[in-house]
Chain A
Amino acid sequence: MSALLRSELLKVRTVRTFLWLALASVALVVIASISVSASTGAIGSASDDRSVAQIAAIALIFSLIGGIIVMAGEVTHGTVTQTLLATPVRERIVLAKAVVAALIAIGFALVAELLVLAITVPGASLDFHNARLVFLGILIAAPLAAVLGVGLGGVVKSQGSGIAVSLVWLLIGEHIVLLISESASKYSPGRAFAALASGERSGHVLLGMSAGGLASVVWAVAFVSFGLLVFLRRDV
């Protein structure tokens, strides 16, 4: 398994896609953090501390996209054929890709959190103590989002369609679910991950952090299982 992990990490390191993803994530986090610092001055409440810390949740979107690219990118470029020739046991490939995508996501999340801290502690007097659960939630949510992305990447036939589907869901699908049933929408993927990253032990609009975390795990496991099933049956 370590050989396969080395191979997958090499694939990530030897193209610039993930560097661009990291830079895009960093740019958005920096812009948002500077904007908050400039407009807020000093944060007045624990709730505001959590809201500001949630800027780092931008990394979740890029973790999801990274997971999709790790898995579906090979189908897009046709390199999945060579991967399967070297490792014909497809379950191992999906597992290795999930691990690698999760590691990348943890990196994205850590960088985002450090940047938020570096900019908003001096700029807006962010209290780390009040925000610590948000940072913990994002660190847990990022690898889960990446694993969900790997699952989605196993279902779609190109990374472009995978990214498009996920963004359309987050921007439109989540709102449609909310309009249909407010109580059911708390369990939708986007809102479950938002709850995990909220830092709130209980909530009205979202689930509490623990319940959101559990729902996020269920979504990640469900997606990666379905992605694996599709990948196992797919003719390449």
Chain B
Amino acid sequence: MIEVVDLRKRYRKATAVDGLTFMVRDGCISGFLGPNGAGKTTTLRILLGLVHPTSGRATIDGHRYRALERPLGRVGAVLEASNYHPKRSGRNHLRALAAAGEIQPARIDELLDFVGLGRAGRRAVGGYSLGMRQRLSVAGALLGDPQILLLDEPANGLDPEGIRWLRDFLRGFAGEGKTVFISSHVLGEMQQLVDEVVIIHHGRLVAHETVGELTARAAGGTRLRSPQAARLREALEREGIDARGEGDRLVTAAPSERVGEVAAANGIVLHELAADTASLEEAFLELTAGGGIE
């Protein structure tokens, strides 16, 4: 379980994280969203013990990262793609990491094949594309066969095939009951992938709910179709509900439950009654007042 409690990080001139509190349950894929400079990367780095918080705590299974025994076996992290010595081969990079984590060397070739770098593994990382570096980062994150994956913009630099590969991999990983906490700006992908989202803005939490709840709340209206649309519109208006539309179709801002009750009370046949949902992107932009997406 990932737990962040009243977390603050203040730099000299700016506050990156400002009293952030949330919890990510085990076995869940959670998205971590926010505009540029919202504090996502800082929060992830505090979780991983790379950045020191000003106050508050960020723990994994109740422990600070520094206190985890065999951390690579508990948490895998994919951060920026440029963290490699350009003259060292991908395979040697993983060898050094595996040695420090006391991980069997046999796992290295297994993972290089898994991420599609089997042959490129012996080449210097300086010659890798951004996508190849991201794949190497994923291999590094999986070295210890972790239960939790933290990913910071993992789709950066990946081509469409790479994004698809990443999505399939993350689904498979989560399918084993493991936890994924992912920050990404590819909101369409996130909507398909994640169970819930944590949205922050100016270092503060603005939403933490399931994608379904968030998108429904963001739209909040109802679409309906009825052969008795004119009668239904009159019935709704009597209840103070404004509806508009043409032919047999109507749209209203009222929730679907209320519209359904009015139709039933008046014996009106409905052919369609659907809560009008927004996309994750629309919900995100509404919550963050149109701020750019990091």
- A88 vs B74: C-alpha distance when bound (angstroms): 13
Instruction: Find out whether the CB atom of A10 lies under 8 angstroms from the CB atom of B66.
Output: no
Instruction: Find out whether the CB atom of A88 lies under 8 angstroms from the CB atom of B66.
Output: yes
Of A14, A79, A83, which is within 8 A of B89 by CB?
Answer: A14
Instruction: Find out whether the CB atom of A14 lies under 8 angstroms from the CB atom of B88.
Output: yes
Instruction: Find out whether the CB atom of A78 lies under 8 angstroms from the CB atom of B84.
Output: yes
Which residues between 40 and 59 of chain B lie within 8 Å of chain A, taking CB atoms? 45, 48-52
A150 to chain B, nearest CB (A): 17
A98 to chain B, nearest CB (A): 16
Number of B residues near A (Cβ < 8 Å) is 33
Of A4, A6, A81, which is within 8 A of B83 by CB?
Answer: A81
B56 to chain A, nearest CB (A): 15
Is residue B102 within 8 Å, beta carbon to beta carbon, of the partner chain? yes
Instruction: Find out whether the CB atom of B99 lies under 8 angstroms from the CB atom of A82.
Output: no
- A159 vs B72: C-alpha distance when bound (angstroms): 27
Instruction: Find out whether the CB atom of A15 lies under 8 angstroms from the CB atom of B85.
Output: yes
Give the chain B neighbours of A85 by CB distance below 8 A. Answer: 48, 50, 71-72, 75, 77
B157 to chain A, nearest CB (A): 15
Is residue B95 within 8 Å, beta carbon to beta carbon, of the partner chain? yes
Q: Interface majority SS on A: helix, strand, loop or mixed?
A: helix
Instruction: Find out whether the CB atom of B88 lies under 8 angstroms from the CB atom of A86.
Output: no
Which residues between 109 and 152 of chain A lie within 8 Å of chain B, taking CB atoms? none
Instruction: Find out whether the CB atom of B87 lies under 8 angstroms from the CB atom of A10.
Output: no
Instruction: Find out whether the CB atom of A88 lies under 8 angstroms from the CB atom of B49.
Output: yes
Is residue B96 within 8 Å, beta carbon to beta carbon, of the partner chain? yes
- A15 vs B85: C-alpha distance when bound (angstroms): 8
Give the chain B neighbours of A89 by CB distance below 8 A. Answer: 66
Give the chain A neighbours of B80 by CB distance below 8 A. Answer: 78, 81
Of B52, B95, B97, which is within 8 A of A82 by CB?
Answer: B97
B205 to chain A, nearest CB (A): 22
Q: For A85, give the chain B residue with the smallest CB separation.
A: B77
Q: For A12, give the chain B residue with the smallest CB separation.
A: B96
- A47 vs B205: C-alpha distance when bound (angstroms): 74
A-B contacts at CB below 8 angstroms, number: 81
A78-B80, A82-B140, A86-B72 given as contacts; is B100 within 8 A of A7 (CB)? Answer: yes
Of A73, A81, A87, A233, which is within 8 A of B100 by CB?
Answer: A87
- A89 vs B49: C-alpha distance when bound (angstroms): 9
- A14 vs B102: C-alpha distance when bound (angstroms): 18
Of B52, B97, B140, which is within 8 A of A7 by CB?
Answer: B97
Instruction: Find out whether the CB atom of B100 lies under 8 angstroms from the CB atom of A78.
Output: no
Instruction: Find out whether the CB atom of A236 lies under 8 angstroms from the CB atom of B50.
Output: yes
Give the chain B neighbours of A15 by CB distance below 8 A. Answer: 85, 87-88
Instruction: Find out whether the CB atom of A3 lies under 8 angstroms from the CB atom of B83.
Output: no
A1-27 contact mask (Cβ, 8 Å, vs B): 1 or 0: 001101110110011110000000000
B272-288 contact mask (Cβ, 8 Å, vs A): 1 or 0: 00000000000000000
Is residue A46 within 8 Å, beta carbon to beta carbon, of the partner chain? no
Is residue B116 within 8 Å, beta carbon to beta carbon, of the partner chain? no
Please list the 10 inter-chain residue pairs (A to B) with the smallest Cβ-Cβ separation, ordered nearest first. Answer: A7-B100, A7-B99, A86-B100, A78-B83, A14-B92, A88-B66, A235-B51, A236-B50, A6-B99, A10-B96
- Ordered by A's residue number, 24 sampled pairs between the chains whose C-beta atoms are within 8 Å are A3-B99, A3-B101, A3-B102, A4-B99, A6-B100, A7-B96, A7-B97, A7-B99, A11-B88, A14-B88, A16-B87, A78-B80, A78-B82, A78-B83, A81-B50, A81-B80, A83-B100, A86-B71, A86-B100, A87-B100, A88-B68, A235-B45, A235-B50, A236-B51
Chain A residues with a Cβ under 8 A of chain B:
3-4, 6-8, 10-11, 14-17, 73, 77-79, 81-89, 233, 235-236
